[in-house]
Structure 1
């Protein structure tokens, strides 16, 4: 296993990233704190933990853990020169090259939110076993729907409309809990966070992994946009939307 440390945002993009992070950090913190308070953690500790997770996620956006490496064949256009009667002609040809692609997991944008989701799922299911079904149903449905709206763009990566996954996660989580475990509707924001994170990871990243490998980038970084990656972003926004739906 390799650990790479590099910052994907340079110059102006890096400055914009930090400015946006500073502006949205309180929102991230409060949404995480909301999810933590719903599983029984006191308000004070929920805010402290939410702030700590958000700051660490931001700082850890530069850390990438390589979990898998694969060799892929890519087609490379080239030209072959042929001289005929003193004239040189260039004939376009296509050759194949073997390129090694590293599959990595961004610590701040993927590893931390996924770990939090798994811990929250364990705590919820331990206290409320009836929530196992709505959590599984929500994650599966969200994964499938997020996969439908995501696409792989060469030289960019996986592109997903930013606002759709968190809304899907919040709505599907609310409906799943309401229909299968209505007495636990108050923890819907927590289910939405779990659904948003895991649904985006599975639907946008894992189900498109084969397509990413086919275009053979040097590195395919899951969660590479850090706190603005779909995995992290969807989780915290899903809490907000689920809280909003629950109050209606």
Structure 2
């Protein structure tokens, strides 16, 4: 009997659609995202080719470095460990549950793809705004947007013990895009709204979701490692900037 190789693809249409999306998603991502970022950076004075090159590097480095966490420090903490002790009653040992505390540590790290790369691009936006002819208005809008996103992302984020900090992926970029458009229109710098929306979403989410929660609720995390810009906040920081930029481009 001859051996045969039988390929049996999923028959349900939804599975086929899902497989097709998984296959073409990276190509779509690498095609549209850099173009959108380059278009947003154009009013800041960056040429199309320079902006596109920076955007491609940003997308590739963020995706490639998303698993990389650089440990900044280790914070000692006590961990409650359940244990059994035997108590002798009339010579008969009875097991009793006790809780003992042992010393451990939590590593505080920063995610390269989810925090460092988006923050570097945001710093570039701030630098370009500083030398722009409408830089004062642009920086004022950015401060207002970042402050608003900081408050909203902090209020909408939550602590998941053993996991870390989780923030909704759509709330910060939506707030950033709408506030950037509103404030930019009020100050007459509408062309700068997309780049401001990106930087405001990144900085605001980083401060509100990560930094403030780490300062206020570090003991509640109960995790061996806390990564700034990693785990649940990778989409909160990295994708917030991208989505905010897209929304601002579409709405303007």
Higher relative contact order (CA 8 A, sep 6+): 1
CA RMSD of aligned residues (A): 2.5
User: Which of residues 77, 81, 90 in structure 2 aligns to 1:76?
Assistant: 81
Q: Which moved more, 1:222-231 or 1:210-219?
A: 222-231
Match of residue 166 from structure 1: 173
Listed as ranges, the gaps of 5+ residues in structure 2 are: 1-20
User: Which of residues 44, 49, 62 in structure 2 aligns to 1:57?
Assistant: 62
| 8 Å Cα contact 2:153/2:172 also seen in 1 | yes
Are residues 86 and 24 of structure 1, via their aligned partners in 2, closer, same or farther at CA, if it must alter by over 3 Å? farther
Residues 1:142 and 2:149 aligned together: yes
SS at match of 2:87: strand
Count residues with an aligned counterpart: 229
Q: Counterparts of 2:171 and 2:80 in 1: how far apart (Å)?
A: 34
Q: Counterparts of 2:24 and 2:88 in 1: how far apart (Å)?
A: 58
SS at match of 2:70: strand
Q: Which moved more, 1:231-240 or 1:31-40?
A: 31-40
Listed as ranges, the gaps of 5+ residues in structure 1 are: 1-15
Are residues 226 and 59 of structure 1, via their aligned partners in 2, closer, same or farther at CA, if it must alter by over 3 Å? farther
Match of residue 223 from structure 1: 229
User: Which of residues 71, 89, 97 in structure 2 aligns to 1:92?
Assistant: 97
| 8 Å Cα contact 2:173/2:244 also seen in 1 | yes
Are residues 214 and 22 of structure 1, via their aligned partners in 2, closer, same or farther at CA, if it must alter by over 3 Å? farther
Structure number with greater Rg is: 2
Match of residue 34 from structure 1: 39
Match of residue 107 from structure 1: 112
Are residues 155 and 42 of structure 1, via their aligned partners in 2, closer, same or farther at CA, if it must alter by over 3 Å? same
Are residues 19 and 223 of structure 1, via their aligned partners in 2, closer, same or farther at CA, if it must alter by over 3 Å? farther
Residues 1:234 and 2:207 aligned together: no
Q: Counterparts of 1:118 and 1:202 in 2: how far apart (Å)?
A: 14
Deviations 1:81-117 (A, max 9, x none): 2232454322222222222111111111110110110
Q: Counterparts of 2:71 and 2:22 in 1: how far apart (Å)?
A: 24
TM-score by length of 2: 0.82
